[in-house]
Structure 1
Amino acid sequence: MLTIAIISDIHANLPALDAVLKDIDQRNVDQIFCLGDLVDFAPWPNEVIDRIRKNRITTLMGNHDERIAFDLPTVPLKKHSATETQVRFSAIDYTRQTIRPDNKAYLASLPRECRLSFTFGESRLNLLLVHASPRAIDEYIYENHDEQDLRAMMEAKNADTLVMGHTHLSYIRSLSSATTTDPIPKLAINCGSVGRSKETKPLATYLLITLSAQSQFSPDAVTYELVHVPYPIEQTIEAIRMSHIPDFYAHFLERGHIQEFKEKAV
């Protein structure tokens, strides 16, 4: 049996990353992959990169990593208000000012995709790992994305399972079979965010893949599980407030924390 953990979108949130790595270690996971966005929005960009490098985690380049690595301009996004645009610029500038040269060079060295292949008798399962989508480092692929477009992207890359991050919203989506003779199911998966979840509960999320040793592929040969890990979110909130990062990002985490507290109290 082989177990693989896929993490993404840490966004400089060291307490969240440490909690996830501890959970992964307790599960005796064989391999860890990261889909990028190590930096921005929390005050530990160097510490997060150091942790990733120390653990020799194969990591892809996220759009935030790309911007910092190559000194790209910060472009306003249509989905953001004027206030969020301003604080976003400030938070990214914090990373620009604090990133160490060796870590900046590390971000510049990261690849944009990773392919994993596993053989079950005459069948081969092909996994494609990307930060956002197979065609762009900053494209949002939500759970309701057009299936024909998803399938076209996957077929172009010969991928049976597509694993993404970027949206901070996790899901596992089965695609309808193209042919009845194809034994490998097609899946589009978002592994969620470790450090800046946009889901209802403010938990660090990652994907756990378990592959069984079988001579032929069967439905139970591979399992996919989204794992949600609590972490000391108050520590991250307080650290943001004590830094030059706008309090907007502390409020973002605090809103989810308060909602979770209310649910527990009911």
Structure 2
Amino acid sequence: MKAFILSDIHSNIQSLRAVWERESDSDIIYCTGDLVDCGPFPGEVIDWVRKHQVICTKGNHDERIIAHYHSRIKMEDLPDNKGNWAYHNAGCLNDEEIRFLQELPESVECRMDGFHYCMKHQFGEKYETIESIHQLRHFWSKHTAAVETHSQAKRVIFGHTHWQAVQYLKDDELWMNPGSTSYRPTRQKEDRSLDAHYITITDGQIRMKSVDYDVTPLIRASAEVHLPSYWG
């Protein structure tokens, strides 16, 4: 079985299409959330996710767009210095699309190829990562219905940080982050990259991957609505 693991798409349909062209033989798709915000194509991303029956959890930016949508404040009514992607995205979506975001679960658990997984958008309140086996097991007991045993294999999936990683805390207990298919916050100049990051899991084997794609349509669409581009 092949699983395709995504996170932090952020209204970037260009990257989503690019990675799917590479991984379209996947049997199932998971996404940790942040489908929308920070990019120009929220409706297209939601449509793609629904069409491909992606199993998603809800991200903090999804929550943000829901809140902006229900505020009924339109971007064109805001002062120039107050407009942002959240107002733009909320104005692009309809009731059905917002309802889809609202109904996304906070966490999901599943089994694949003998491994037990728990997926949630983020660990902690900010950008923390799991540093110890104690933290992983506490997270596991809080977000799964599984009976806790120390001998049980555990794989946690979360996103939010935009940085790709797999960290083993024991041979059969680990967490992974597929990174963002859209963009990464710049830490150092040399860290900057515009490729799409994701993970595949084939018969239990984890592989961290990336795909280069054309960001020109994103830059152009950002300029058309006078909002900042994360792609140049």
TM-score, with length taken from structure 1: 0.71
Secondary structure of the corresponding residue to residue 253 of structure 1:
coil
**Whose Rg is larger?**
1
**Structure 2 counterpart of 1:208:** 200
| 1:71 positional shift | 4.1
User: Which runs of 5 or more residues in structure 1 are unaligned?
Assistant: 75-85, 178-184, 212-221, 255-266
1:229-264 deviation per Cα after TM superposition (whole angstroms, max 9, x unaligned): 1111122112111124x22xx2x322xxxxxxxxxx
The separation in 2 between residues aligned to 1:149 and 1:55, in whole angstroms, is 33
User: Where do 1:11-30 residues align within 5 Å?
Assistant: 11-25=10-24, 28-30=25-27
Q: Provide Cα deviations, 1:166-223, integer angstroms capped at 9, x if missing partner.
A: 100010001036xxxxxxx111111100112345322111110111xxxxxxxxxx21
Q: Distance in 2 between matches of 1:118 and 1:241?
A: 43
Residues 69, 91 of structure 2: 8 Å contact kept: no
**Counterpart amino acid of residue 238 in structure 1:** R
C-alpha deviation, 1:59, in angstroms: 1.5
CA deviation string 1:62-94 (max 9, x = no partner):
1111122244899xxxxxxxxxxx67x622111
Structure 1 residues 103 and 73, CA gap change in structure 2 (3 angstroms) = closer
Q: Is the 8 A contact 1:171 1:189 kept in 2?
A: yes
Q: Secondary structure at the match of 2:39?
A: coil
Distance in 2 (alpha carbons) for counterparts of 1:67 and 1:131: 14
Question: Aligned AA for 1:207?
Answer: I
Flag the 1:186–1:73 CA change in 2: closer, same or farther, 3 A.
Answer: farther
Runs of at least 5 residues in structure 2 that lack an aligned partner in the other structure = 72-80, 147-152, 186-190
Whether contact under 8 Å (1:131, 1:165) holds in the other structure is yes
Q: Which residue of 2 aligns with 1:224?
A: 206
**CA distance in 1 between partners of 2:37 and 2:215 (Å):** 16
- Corresponding residue for residue 79 of structure 1: none
Match of 1:253 in 2: 231
Aligned pairs (5 A) from 1:137-148: 139-142=126-129, 145-147=130-132, 148=134
| Residue from 65, 70, 80 that aligns with 1:68 | 65
**Residue in structure 2 matching 1:128, options 118, 124, 143:** 118
**Given the two structures, how large is their TM-score scaled by the length of structure 2?**
0.81
Question: AA paired with 1:18?
Answer: R
Amino acid of the residue matched to residue 234 of structure 1?
T
Shift of 1:131: 0.8
2:188 corresponding residue in structure 1: none
- Over aligned residues, Cα RMSD in angstroms? 2.3
Percent of residue pairs identical: 28
Question: Contact between 1:70 and 1:108, CA under 8 Å: does it hold in 2?
Answer: no
1:166 aligns with 2:165: no
**Which residue does the alignment assign to 2:149?**
none
Question: Is residue 108 of structure 1 aligned with residue 102 of structure 2?
Answer: yes
Q: How far apart in 2 are the matches of 1:210 and 1:119?
A: 9
User: In 2, Cα distance between the equivalents of 1:229 and 1:200?
Assistant: 14
